Amino acid sequence: MSGTPERVAIITGGSGGIGRVCAQRLAADGFAVVIHYAGHRDRAEQTVREIRESGGHALAGHGDVADEHDMAALFTLAQTEFGGIDVLVHTAGIMPLSPIAQLDLGVLDEVLRTNVRGTFVVDQLAARHLREGGAIINFSTSVTRLQIPGYAAYTASKGAVEAVTLILARELRGRDITVNTIAPGPTATPLFFEGKSREQIDGIAAANPMARLGTPEDTAEAVSFLAGPARWVNGQVLYVNGGAA
């Protein structure tokens, strides 16, 4: 790698289906990308290699998104290697499903720790360290509006993410840093397919006005927009779901 890139992005959950494609898209847009991973080092490092082979700047960093020390080290890595941070794309999260009556409260604690505390941790660091003209892009889900049984713990955590986003956008008044949340609909990723029959998957796709599932590329398009030209979009929840309710 040569030269210093003008803009730098951290992508949490960058080894996952949506996070990986978002990292690739921002690298294609000219960003240096720091690809965070928790448990899939091989996939993160493969993405780094692919970006570098295409002439981009990338590196991988490990850590627990809910651990402030791990994430502080990740932000320090980005600043040390690339000179600063402009964009945070916070895709990391977990989605165990269970009806409320059968929900293991230990699982609920884990969901809230990763999805809610994790958002507070990385958003706090971003608020402290992003340069002027930056963007914080959190992730929620369109399921908050679809009321699908079994998703209560997950959607409760993502409702909290939306609240954090709306307030942080106003707390950063005068900093020229936008804060938004993307709420994808059903998206063709390994996480979505897990535990679903072909009949269920086909039914979900057919119910969408676009008659298909979303793709990680659909979501990455919205991330690219919010990370780049969308300077007048702030404090919003953007539903990227093909028209699902």
pLDDT tens for 139-160 read 999 999 888 899 999 999 999 9
Rounded to an integer, the average pLDDT of 24-34 is 97
CATH code assigned at 70: 3.40.50.720
Confidence class of residue 192 from pLDDT cuts 50, 70 and 90?
Answer: confident
From CA 95, how far away is CA 139, in angstroms rounded? Answer: 13
Q: What is the pLDDT of residue 194?
A: 79
Beta-bridged to residue 184, according to DSSP, are 240
User: Tokens representing 104?
Assistant: 């293991």
154 in any annotated domain: yes
Confidence check: pLDDT of 187 > 80: yes
User: Tokens representing 44?
Assistant: 């993160």
Considering the chain, what is the average pLDDT of its residues?
A: 94
Q: Which residues participate in catalysis according to the annotation? A: 154
**Which residues make Cβ contacts (< 8 Å) with residue 155, sequence separation at least 6?**
141, 143, 144
244 in any annotated domain: no
1 in any annotated domain: no
Confidence check: pLDDT of 179 > 80: yes
From CA 143, how far away is CA 165, in angstroms rounded? Answer: 17
Rounded to an integer, the average pLDDT of 39-50 is 94
Confidence class of residue 104 from pLDDT cuts 50, 70 and 90?
Answer: very high
Domain assignment of residue 149, given as a range: 8-237
Q: CA-based Rg of the chain, rounded to a whole angstrom?
A: 17
Name which residue leads in pLDDT, 5 or 102: 102
User: Tokens representing 69?
Assistant: 């020390």
164 in any annotated domain: yes
Q: What is the pLDDT of residue 113?
A: 98
Q: What is the pLDDT of residue 81?
A: 96
242 in any annotated domain: no
**pTM tops 0.85:** yes
Confidence check: pLDDT of 244 > 90: no
Confidence check: pLDDT of 110 > 70: yes
Q: What is the pLDDT of residue 5?
A: 67
Contact present, 240 and 214 (Cβ < 8 Å): yes
Total count of domains within the chain? 1
Q: What is the pLDDT of residue 1?
A: 45
Q: What is the pLDDT of residue 217?
A: 96
pLDDT digits (tens, 9 = 90+) for 158-175: 999 999 999 999 999 999
243 in any annotated domain: no
From CA 85, how far away is CA 134, in angstroms rounded? Answer: 8
160 in any annotated domain: yes
From CA 27, how far away is CA 151, in angstroms rounded? Answer: 33
Q: What is the pLDDT of residue 3?
A: 59
Sign (positive/negative) of CA torsion 167, 168, 171, 173?
Answer: negative
